Structure 1
């Protein structure tokens, strides 16, 4: 096919300044492919760039295309013959590990490599452009072919589900365990789904709103609690807690809800800088506080689980908007009382 020279994209210019505009299509290199995007999922980091001009310590210094959760179809294969053929349905793995400044890291955990880049991230400057666009140019190594029978629509959760799968792996063996998940946004809900698949015995979920709590019950939670019910949360006494709200109060709930000797997996990204934390309680209870950041090779496992139906994700996607209506989509996505995962259709 003849490729366009320009493509429609969702671009954050500054805090509060989000635009759907036409941008030049990148020129493919020898090992690059061109993908026609079908769906893109709006992530919390996309919302932060739009609302605050920053996501954690990644500060927007110039206009940047948003998006890192996309699936689509290969419309031009790599000139060097690497990667997927034209017509292949694919999910995009947004990370590119790198040595960076040479700081030490575990080689089997490339998500921690100091030079790692991520699509749609302002962590470095120039920024790493995102993939909320009708056509994108990406390295062939980023593509993951969909298993036979898995549709693009059903694969649209592959990237956030990989984040959830990685978080559960950081908890160790969850089979037969009592688990508390704090925060039922899309990542929290996907953690519940992965936990249910992995055989967790009891899953309790907290949130502020009715919609996410109802969805949590559909994907595997046995008990749901209001995030304001401190006594009920403290009585859970979970073997493993997941903090996925990205708030200091959520972390406090996870610490209170853990049994002595339990483990707290911190998934939600708190704001940059010092944060209040119940460290004395973590010490006297000998709690293990474990970080979880992005993911590595989990996407292959997620795609297989989505294809065979063992990863239940019913109700997590609540809205779909044409990319041209991106401003409305972002406005809906920021209101967790009425939305879960919001998809853009390209």
Structure 2
């Protein structure tokens, strides 16, 4: 497979300045692979870089290629012999753990202080993403896909791994009542993974009907409109997943948990102090647990998608050619009409 010298890429230049432009294909190092990207999923962080020029405290200081939810085919293998060979279909684990200066459990590299992620402005120079027809990636990031798992279905692997990690942070949920606050793509994937893990009852909450429709399609046994505070409080769930990323969602999560229950906080709230129902969490002896990205759960997700035990197809609602990235981002921004939006390269 011939690798061109230049490639089409989706680049964030600044707030409200997203461009589809030609860039040079970088020269790969010995342990790097050139991947012909097939699909990329638009993530909330991608939207933030477009809308705000920043994702939380990660501020754009230079143009950056977006994208970390990508799958594709190896166009040029690593010269040192590592990683899959030419023609292999692959998913991508976008994290590079590392850094020193802060303590963390060694078996949880997602918490390493210097961890970087594809398409992130957390450090400078920024870590370029992979929304490009051809992306140069470290061979260690690649996970070869099993036969029978097509690239479009595998495009959901990265966010599904975030959901899988969140469910494992909840402890055992088999036979339990689960409440999911926020039924966007991550929330819907949490519903699907919770069903895969044997939850007896799964209640999904959102402001809009479209995400609730998707949640029902992937396993929610019932749904509640987010403004119905009494109905949410009446759920009394064993485990609550907060995936809205808002302090109001976190308040709903605390209210919707049973006494002695666990709240897994997945949605990333804005930086700085946030209002929270801490007194209620204390008097109900709730366990508030953070969940951030994922580690090797990606391998379990790929296996579950391949054997059919994890069903996520309804989560993907739209597909756009990469050249129409602006339209794709505008659609992904409107949670009332879309779930996961894919770019086709």
Distance 1:132 1:15 in 2: 18
Distance in 1 separating the partners of 2:44 and 2:79: 35
Q: Which residue of 2 aligns with 1:74?
A: 74
- TM-score under structure 1 length normalisation: 0.99
C-alpha distance in structure 1 between counterparts of 2:283 and 2:179, whole Å: 20
Deviation for aligned residue 1:59: 1.3
Q: How does 1:1-346 map to 2 (within 5 A)?
A: 1-98=1-98, 100-346=99-345
Mapped contact 1:218–1:314 kept (Cα < 8 A): no
Note the alpha carbon deviations across 1:146-186, whole angstroms, 9 max, x for none: 01210001101000000000000000000011110000000
Question: 1:208 Cα deviation (Å)?
Answer: 0.8
CA contact (8 A) 1:42 1:344 kept: yes
Query: Per-residue CA shift, 1:110-154, capped at 9, x if unaligned?
Result: 000011110001111111000000000001000000012100011
* Counterparts of 1:253 and 1:208, CA distance in 2: 12
How much does 1:102 deviate? 2.8
Runs of 5+ unmatched residues, structure 2:
none
**Distance across 2 between alignment mates of 1:204 and 1:76:** 45
Task: Show CA shifts across 1:64-92 (max 9, x none).
Answer: 11000000000100001111000000001
Instruction: Give the alignment's Cα RMSD to 1 decimal.
Output: 0.7
Q: Secondary structure at the match of 1:153?
A: helix
**Could you tell me whether the CA contact under 8 Å between 2:153 and 2:313 is conserved in 1?**
no
Q: Which runs of 5+ in 1 are unaligned?
A: none
Q: TM-score, normalised by structure 2?
A: 0.99
Q: Distance in 1 between matches of 2:100 and 2:60?
A: 22
Mapped partners of 1:23, 1:273: distance in 2: 36
SS in structure 1 of the partner of residue 313 of structure 2: coil
> Quick check: 2:149–2:305 contact (8 Å CA) kept in 1?
yes
CA distance in 2, matches of 1:322, 1:202: 38
Distance 1:314 1:86 in 2: 28
Per-residue CA shift, 1:285-328, capped at 9, x if unaligned? 11110000000000110011111111011311000000000000
